Amino acid sequence: MYQWRLLGFSPGDPYWNMAVDEAILESCRTGITPNTLRIYTWQPSAVSIGRHQAIREEVDLDIADNLGINVVRRISGGGAVFHDCHGEVTYSIVVNEKLVSEVSGPTVFFRLAQGISLALSKFGLPSEEEKIHCPSIFVGRKKISGNAQARKDGMILQHGTILLSYDPEIMYSVLKVKEGRTKRKMVQSVFQHVTTLERELGYIPKQETVAEYLVEGFQKSLGIVLKEETPSEGEMVLATKLREEKYLSPKWTFKY
């Protein structure tokens, strides 16, 4: 039987968040710790870019700096994402791929993301799965959750968000508008194609409530019992090292 643990809801700076995700992946990969679900938020707001993206093509670094928005490169794939410190809750799950060995490709994303759909159902929101740019969860034909993945030696790291609220004006001040588009059109596109819990419910639920529903959803979808713990001493040491030597390093951030 596969054991599971929960690293409870907590905020973290963007470099720390990505360092902890990678440290957990390494710890689980070597068998030191069990499969792990972690729930967190971002303090301050940030942009995370995919592992292979060219940062200067995706982010207006001057505006990000002026607004106090951090920029960090993920080890997972996918596109650039704006993370509002008050407007989302992020999950990460590290699991042995043997648990999802019966499926492949995007289906693996959705097998792991069923917990998100169950969390949304606690708010009375039906959802559906689609792959547009990234494997995503939609409510009312609008995207509410995007997900990305990295794999190493039989382990899967998947992380993603649930949007509580958003400000497309800030989003597309920091994220660069693609050639042939205008900021105005991109903002309109966000309103047309992306939704939030605020838009669907008429209010912004507490981040703690969303975190609680995610935990319940993942337990139900995966048929597991999560035991709440804190990161191991080894994970904390490795995360600190990764934050300082990798995620804060221009060599990693400006890799492309």
Quote the number of domains for the chain: 1
- Domain with residue 181: its CATH number is 3.30.930.10
Q: What is the pTM of this model?
A: 0.93
Q: Which two tokens stand for residue 250?
A: 């221009």
Which H, E and C letters describe 172-183, residue by residue? HHHECCCCCCCH
Reported as a single tens digit per residue, the pLDDT across 211-254 is: 999 999 999 999 999 999 999 999 999 999 999 999 999 999 99
What would the pLDDT profile of 155-213 be if each residue is shown by its tens digit? Answer: 999 999 999 999 999 999 999 988 777 888 888 888 889 999 999 999 999 999 999 99
46, β-bridge pairs: 70, 83
Domain limits for position 185: 4-253
CA distances from 104 to 37, 110, 111, 112, 134 (A): 21, 10, 10, 12, 15
